[in-house]
A and B are shown apart, each in its own frame.
Chain A
Amino acid sequence: MSMNVLEASGLGKRYGGTWALRECTLEIPAGHVAALIGPNGAGKTTLLNLAVGLAAPSAGAVTVLGGCPAGSPAALDGIAFVAQDTPLYKNLSVADMIYVTRQLNRSFDQPYARARLEDLGIPPKRKAGKLSGGQQAQVALTLALARRPRLLVLDEPVAMLDPIARHDFMATVLAAASDDGVSVLLSSHVLTELERVANYLVLLARGQVRLAGEVDDLLATHHHGSLEELALTYLREHPAEVAK
């Protein structure tokens, strides 16, 4: 049996007069690490905001976790979202962030969160604003995973991180996906990083879905050796479509 963690049909979002996302029809099956890629301004953040219920669609519909409307109580319970630049309350300590996240959610694995932050060497009494960018990203990811979500949504999680922090962050995400069966949907414009982790790909350009499918299938169909090559070639070969 298979369940879709995300289903969009005719989904569109307009900000003022411009469509950030149009006619997006998409199904992402559960149990994957799905990468949402595309150039800046392609609509990646818009699609993720719609999926987590932060934004409301201007057209069409989006459901998550097998039919829950995005942003509904059941969807909020089952999805953990780490926004771009991993916002934390800068004046709260790490321990307070754990407390706040536990209070705001039905399930929260506090021993896991404590243990993981201890492994990472992040002092609980330190204010979130005093942590390095990599540490803040790790705290945000830990809080998200401690909610034991069925779907983890990450918006440009590694864009601001140095290579080591990037590697550590992705290793955690991968472990959650393979050990705990968490479905992951992440956006990135850093293609090399996705190579190791993604097994499902959605290519967005100019607010529209250009390619979507299992990475292995896409690579086989399009005769490319790597995901990066596939994406770049596609974007280059279809400039008219992409630049419409």
Chain B
Amino acid sequence: MTAQTMPVQPAEDTTPRPLAWHRMAGVTWRQHRFALVGVVTLLGALAVYLWIAGSSLHSAYAAAIACQPASSPACQDAVNNFNDTGVFLSNGVIFQVLPVLIGAFVEAPVLAREMESGTFRYAWTQGFGRWRWALAKLVALGLAVTVATELFSLLLSWYFRPYFAPGNQALGLDQLSPFNTGLFDLREVTFAAWTLAAFSIGALAGMLIRRVVPAIAATLAVYAALAVAVGGFLRGHYLTPLVTANPNPPGNAWVLSQWWTKGAAVLSPDAVRQAFDSAFAVVAPVVTSRSQKLQAYSSTLQYLTRHGYTQWTRYQPASRFWPFEWIEGGWLLALSLLLLAATVWLVRRRAA
């Protein structure tokens, strides 16, 4: 061959202007359309189901609260009808897994697959630049799943609303605390925030582990650990709990712990049991029916109170539902942004 003498143009002194961000929209869509369509299809199918189930739940609820007089057998049937409707969904378990499914199966493979298959060598040597590529992709996918799950969460919030109405208890209708484990993080803003957190865990796991299947497994494990830690320990302490000596804490409150004192001394569980047994023997030696039992229990409490015992309750009042929603949504958002920033930083500095 003949040697070419044509010289390479000297590099311009000025750094070229970066390519426009919107160029990544179509790229991200083409690469991840199956995952995105899968998410929308899954959420859409569940939404249809929720809508149908929710319509019958809401009409059962409307019938139960409109029924007059409340003590009539027909009204009792309406109340029972509401309580029996949608029992399967009322613990929220099947929706609890959605955020982590999206995080693990949609997001964890995004970067892990690039690393595993070697396509990052293609992607990171294009003119767009590697960290901008990673940032654009994560933001586009993150926004898509956050918007989709927030819309779904509005439907979830609507579905569960009858359970949280004040006054249910008086009518004999099922009433749940707004902090109900399993439902708190499905409603309003927390569901989308948990999904974004799972998404970010998946992104970072994919970039750190660089293998699809282990990255999915790690995402599932880390998310489960985080969810258990938050539900079991952290959430109860977002705001300092209130303490009351009233033996009947406000309805709907989230009771964190209860203990007894006599004078200044805190009683051990054994001591409390002994006190109860002896008081019970005094106030209600013979108990047969259920109503007698309830009566006996309340008499026992009164007896103990008269004799210097105090029952303390540490709780979160139901009125703190919204502050707790924003606190949990807020720190999950901050955590997600941190994890995504770490992921982009890893893409930027990671050697091939």
Contacts and interface: CB of A to CB of B under 8 A. Distances in A.
A73 B127 CA distance: 7
Interface residues of A, number: 56
Contacts of B34: 91
A62 to B, nearest CB: 13
Given A65-B8, A85-B118, A88-B119, A74 B15 contact: yes
A73 B18 contact: yes
Contact of B127 (A1, A2, A76): A76
A196 interface: yes
Nearest to B8: A30
B31 interface: yes
Interface stretch (B19-27, B219-227, B230-238, B289-297): B19-27
Nearest to A107: B127
B94 interface: no
Contact of A54 (B23, B117, B125): B125
B30 A32 contact: no
Nearest to A82: B122
Contacts of B125: 52-54, 76, 79-81, 83
Interface stretch (A36-44, A92-100, A157-165): A92-100
B2 interface: yes
Nearest to B12: A74
A104 B133 contact: yes
Contact of B126 (A55, A87, A88, A101): A101
Interface of B is mostly: loop
B264 interface: no
B117 A87 contact: yes
B262 interface: no
A183 interface: yes
B7 interface: yes
A151 B8 contact: yes
Nearest to B126: A104
Interface string B106-136: 0000000000011101111111110001000
B240 interface: no
Contacts of B6: 30-31, 181
Given A31-B7, A76-B129, A87 B19 contact: no
A105 B121 contact: no
A106 interface: yes
A10 interface: no
A56 B8 contact: no
A5 B9 CA distance: 10
A140 B127 CA distance: 15
Interface in B153-211: none
A23 interface: no
Contacts, number: 130
Contacts of A5: 8
Interface residues of B, number: 39
A174 interface: yes
B288 interface: no
Interface core residue of A52, A83, A103, A150 (most chain B CB under 10 Å): A103
Given A3-B7, A150-B9, A181-B6, A99 B26 contact: yes
B278 to A, nearest CB: 72
Contacts of B7: 1-3, 30-31
Contacts of B265: none
A167 interface: no
Contacts of B2: 178
B10 interface: yes
Contacts of A80: 125
A126 interface: no
A178 B4 contact: yes
B228 interface: no
B1 A150 contact: no
A69 B9 CA distance: 16
B119 A89 contact: yes
Interface core residue of B6, B10, B122 (most chain A CB under 10 Å): B122
Given A104-B27, A104-B126, 14 more contacts: A30-B8, A31-B6, A52-B125, A76-B129, A77-B127, A81-B125, A88-B122, A90-B117, A96-B30, A100-B27, A103-B23, A151-B8, A177-B4, A178-B4
28 contacts: A2-B7, A31-B3, A31-B5, A49-B352, A53-B124, A53-B125, A54-B124, A54-B125, A66-B8, A67-B11, A72-B15, A73-B127, A73-B129, A76-B127, A81-B122, A83-B122, A87-B119, A88-B119, A92-B30, A103-B23, A103-B128, A104-B123, A104-B127, A105-B126, A140-B122, A178-B2, A196-B1, A199-B1
Interface of B: 1-12, 15-16, 18-19, 23-24, 26-27, 30-31, 34, 117-119, 121-129, 133, 349, 351-352
4 nearest A-B pairs in the assembled complex, by CB-CB distance? A54-B352, A83-B121, A181-B6, A104-B126
